[in-house]
Chains A and B, each alone.
Chain A
Amino acid sequence: MLHVANVTKSYGKLQANKNLSLHVHPGEIAVLLGPNGAGKSTLIKCVTGLLRFTGDVTIGGHPNKTVEAKRLLGYVPESPELYDRLTVSEHVEFSRRAYRLYDDGDAPDLLARFELLDKQKKLGKELSKGMQQKLSICCALLHRPRLVVFDEPMVGLDPHAIKELKRLFGELRAAGAAILISTHMLDSVADLWDTAHIMVDGAIAASRSRQEEAGQDQSLEELFFSITEDRQP
């Protein structure tokens, strides 16, 4: 579903992503792990078409900046980007109309699961950070995307919402969606991932699948620390 080939992103002389390649298949949860500043969010923004880069990114076989690719994509940004002057229900309506959905999509179910049904008349700026994050998740999943990209999705969420989100990851995987999650919190995705990519200094330092881990002496956490701590000055 998602193919990233030789992606490089530079800001002046700084290379935030260095010749990265990875794939996420339908029904797979891939996680991007790495310390702060490793380049995870930059890669996520390249994948979602928000940044210019060199290399190739395709979604469902379409280049990521095409209308066809965008139709398949759902994106939950690191910090919730809502409109201050729209209510919760209007955010949902806007997403529904922008994606040309002629029904409510998964809106009622999502709003109920994230406890937003009674907050539909609240403006975006009146919501707490956690509530904004929940709404951001609802808007991203409304149109039933086939690739969902989450950038640090658990930050700011309460325990109930984290539990619900984890359950949602499982449901999306079972429904055949490809999922890419970026995080620096290993614990939060420990029991979820199918493939893990560890990023350091803008490059993928190691990749491991769940099957591979079963035959290894070193756990993912141990591998992560052995890579990231080795590189510290």
Chain B
Amino acid sequence: MRSPLAYLLLTRLKNQVLSWLKSPAKLLYLLFIGAMLTMVVFSGRPDTAMNPARRDIRELTAGLFALYLLLFVLLARRGFGQGASLFRLADVNLIFAAPFRPRSVLFFGLIQQMGQSLLLGLFLLYQFGWMRQLYGVSLPALLVILFGYALTVFSAQLTAMVLYSLTSGNDRIHTGLKFAFYGLLVGYGGYVLIRLLADPEHVLDVLVTAGNSTTTRLFPVAGWISALVAGFVMKDRWLALAGFAACLAFLGLLVITVTRVRQDFYEDVLLTTESNHNAITARKEGRLEDAAPRRVRLGKVGLNKGSGASAFYFKHVVENRRSRVLLLSGQSLIFIVMVLAVSFFMREIGLLGVFAFSSYIQIFSVSLGRLNRELLKPYIYLVPEPPFAKLLHSLRESLGSFFIEAALLFVPLALLLRASPLSCALCILARVSYAYLFTAGNLLTERIFGAGTSKVLIFFFYFLLLTFLALPGIVLAFLAGTETGALLALLGANVPVALLVLFLCRNILQTAELNNR
């Protein structure tokens, strides 16, 4: 008889595939994603002889090391707090209590986690276009970069689990390992800083050289994974093999630690699995900022202002204050850093090109904000105020963050690209106009679909709708000819379109359904 755990893994997979086939919307979406991927990968394949890579490939490998390191540190450090889990709540309830050997359960969790880690990195495939154009990256090399990403997530999760198992309940080991973990990071930071101080004129060159140095290649986990990837990308077989061997040895050591040193690991993952489950539920309900299971600083208590519909706005102010990192949400800050980092490498395409890229990324970062969450609770429907007033006051909280986000993005970009203050100001305004255009698109999607329709179909429609709403601005910008003219054209088109959509959706709260069935 087949192992029940293998049966569970395969049945889950089979049911997942069947659910795609049974839902036309999901299938359509998958086909769309597949078609997009195929287009990105195969369209306009450059003749490498005609279009040689424009930049040094070592920039990419150094950047990948930074990405893997950041990811590894962020995930693995959870081992000093709540720990990490390879399991879902259903696993805890059904498998942990069943008569399986803990070692079998651990391997079940490991295989499950491997699949998830790979899925998490799929977004990298969409980066093929610029990687190929700038660095001449081939498709197999991209797949290895994706593998490196998945390996980083997987190793970090397992490291966090082992760190938690070893340190929970033992302060001495906890302090010692934490010291070693952060000590290594500080040491590496010091190494890069010394090299930077030695040659402050050539920051990029120094960072690239440091990111490809032997010290970096020897740096635990992220260094080994980047060695594996860099070896493949730069066709250095021995480097790739050495990186791979180091990763395998490390993972083997982690598995031995769990299975030999701490066989009873159930307790260690219980709390984290529950926290993860709550966080996933919160994300599904659109409570992104509230999903992180962290301590909340209460600060000043009380709304202190607001009456009728405006009470929603002042409530949002309090909620935002307790959810944000500095002035923006953690998610917004990540998007800003990401756009700034990519723009640094793409600076040749100029301010407008960077603006277009940042607007594309903005599609993923703009949502209805707190209104999304309000739609899942009964109060916004129950409060006896006109629906348009409730709508406007629920959207009000976003304005400040849209401006701050735009300024945090375009002031440094303008300095980097040596753009004029006027262009910088116009970029900020145009970005805010896009934010409201996308918000309007969100509202219209909600107005048309409301509750009860496939989320995949909604997502698909949402993208089509945003393209349609943004089209007038894009066409006018192309016709404008100059940079200033294009930005003014975007502003001139986006603002009326957003206002029109908002007006058309004014009664959304009168007709919407509580969407939490």
**A181 interfacial by beta-carbon distance below 8 Å:** no
B318, A86: Cβ atoms closer than 8 Å: yes
**B306 interfacial by beta-carbon distance below 8 Å:** yes
A123, B301: Cβ atoms closer than 8 Å: no
**A13 interfacial by beta-carbon distance below 8 Å:** no
Cβ-neighbour of B319 out of A50, A69, A83 (below 8 A)? A83
A49, B301: Cβ atoms closer than 8 Å: no
**A201 interfacial by beta-carbon distance below 8 Å:** no
A67, B385: Cβ atoms closer than 8 Å: yes
**B315 interfacial by beta-carbon distance below 8 Å:** yes
**B513 interfacial by beta-carbon distance below 8 Å:** yes
**A70 interfacial by beta-carbon distance below 8 Å:** yes
Cβ-neighbour of B311 out of A70, A73, A84, A98 (below 8 A)? A98
**B410 interfacial by beta-carbon distance below 8 Å:** no
Question: Which of B137-145, B167-175, B373-381, B396-404 has 4 or more CB atoms under 8 Å from chain A?
Answer: B373-381
B residues 379-430 touching A (CB-CB < 8 Å): 379, 381-386
**A21 interfacial by beta-carbon distance below 8 Å:** no
Question: Which of A89-97, A171-179, A203-211 has 4 or more CB atoms under 8 Å from chain B?
Answer: A89-97
**CA gap between A123 and B290 in the complex, in Å:** 12
**CA gap between A11 and B452 in the complex, in Å:** 8
B378, A89: Cβ atoms closer than 8 Å: no
> Could you tell me the distance in whole angstroms from the C-beta of B278 to the nearest C-beta in chain A?
9
**CA gap between A41 and B451 in the complex, in Å:** 16
> Could you tell me the distance in whole angstroms from the C-beta of A9 to the nearest C-beta in chain B?
10
A51, B383: Cβ atoms closer than 8 Å: no
Residues of chain A within 8 A (CB-CB) of B513 are 50-52
B301, A121: Cβ atoms closer than 8 Å: yes
**A25 interfacial by beta-carbon distance below 8 Å:** no
B378, A75: Cβ atoms closer than 8 Å: yes
**B307 interfacial by beta-carbon distance below 8 Å:** yes
B303, A97: Cβ atoms closer than 8 Å: yes
**B514 interfacial by beta-carbon distance below 8 Å:** yes
The residue of chain A having its C-beta at the shortest distance from the C-beta of B507 within the complex is A65
The residue of chain B having its C-beta at the shortest distance from the C-beta of A42 within the complex is B517
The residue of chain B having its C-beta at the shortest distance from the C-beta of A12 within the complex is B452
Known: A11-B452, A85-B290. A67 touches B386 (CB 8 A): yes
**A17 interfacial by beta-carbon distance below 8 Å:** no
**B287 interfacial by beta-carbon distance below 8 Å:** yes
**B312 interfacial by beta-carbon distance below 8 Å:** yes
**CA gap between A65 and B514 in the complex, in Å:** 13
Residues of chain A within 8 A (CB-CB) of B307 are 97, 100
Residues of chain B within 8 A (CB-CB) of A18 are none
**B198 interfacial by beta-carbon distance below 8 Å:** no
**A225 interfacial by beta-carbon distance below 8 Å:** no
B385, A121: Cβ atoms closer than 8 Å: no
A70, B302: Cβ atoms closer than 8 Å: no
Interface size class of B (residues with CB under 8 A): 35 or more
A86, B315: Cβ atoms closer than 8 Å: yes
B510, A65: Cβ atoms closer than 8 Å: yes
Residues of chain A within 8 A (CB-CB) of B384 are 67-71, 99
Q: Digit string of A80-116 for contact with B (CB within 8 Å is 1, else 0)?
A: 0101111101100110011110000000000000000
A89, B302: Cβ atoms closer than 8 Å: yes
**A77 interfacial by beta-carbon distance below 8 Å:** yes
Residues of chain B within 8 A (CB-CB) of A45 are 514
**CA gap between A19 and B154 in the complex, in Å:** 54
> Could you tell me the distance in whole angstroms from the C-beta of B218 to the nearest C-beta in chain A?
44
Q: Digit string of A131-158 for contact with B (CB within 8 Å is 1, else 0)?
A: 0000000000000000000000000000
Known: A77-B378, A121-B298. A70 touches B290 (CB 8 A): no
A84, B287: Cβ atoms closer than 8 Å: yes
Among A68, A83, A123, A125, chain B packs the most CB atoms within 10 A around the CB of A83
**CA gap between A45 and B383 in the complex, in Å:** 15
A83, B382: Cβ atoms closer than 8 Å: no
**CA gap between A96 and B318 in the complex, in Å:** 16
> Could you tell me the distance in whole angstroms from the C-beta of A95 to the nearest C-beta in chain B?
8
Known: A83-B319, A86-B319. A73 touches B382 (CB 8 A): yes
B301, A98: Cβ atoms closer than 8 Å: no
B381, A50: Cβ atoms closer than 8 Å: yes
A87, B382: Cβ atoms closer than 8 Å: no
Residues of chain A within 8 A (CB-CB) of B378 are 48, 50, 75, 77, 81
The residue of chain A having its C-beta at the shortest distance from the C-beta of B376 within the complex is A81
A81, B377: Cβ atoms closer than 8 Å: yes
Residues of chain A within 8 A (CB-CB) of B315 are 83, 86, 90, 94
B residues 279-332 touching A (CB-CB < 8 Å): 282, 287, 290, 296, 298, 301-303, 306-309, 311-312, 314-315, 318-319, 322-323
> Could you tell me the distance in whole angstroms from the C-beta of A18 to the nearest C-beta in chain B?
18
Known: A11-B452, A85-B296. A93 touches B290 (CB 8 A): no
Q: Digit string of B440-451 for contact with A (CB within 8 Å is 1, else 0)?
A: 000000000010
Cross-chain pairs A/B with CB under 8 angstroms, 7 sampled: A45-B514, A51-B513, A67-B385, A70-B383, A85-B323, A94-B379, A98-B309
Interface residues, chain B, with chain A CB atoms under 8 Å away: 282, 287, 290, 296, 298, 301-303, 306-309, 311-312, 314-315, 318-319, 322-323, 376-379, 381-386, 450, 452, 510-511, 513-514
Sorted nearest first, the 6 A-B pairs with minimum C-beta distance are A70-B384, A97-B311, A50-B514, A71-B384, A98-B311, A85-B319
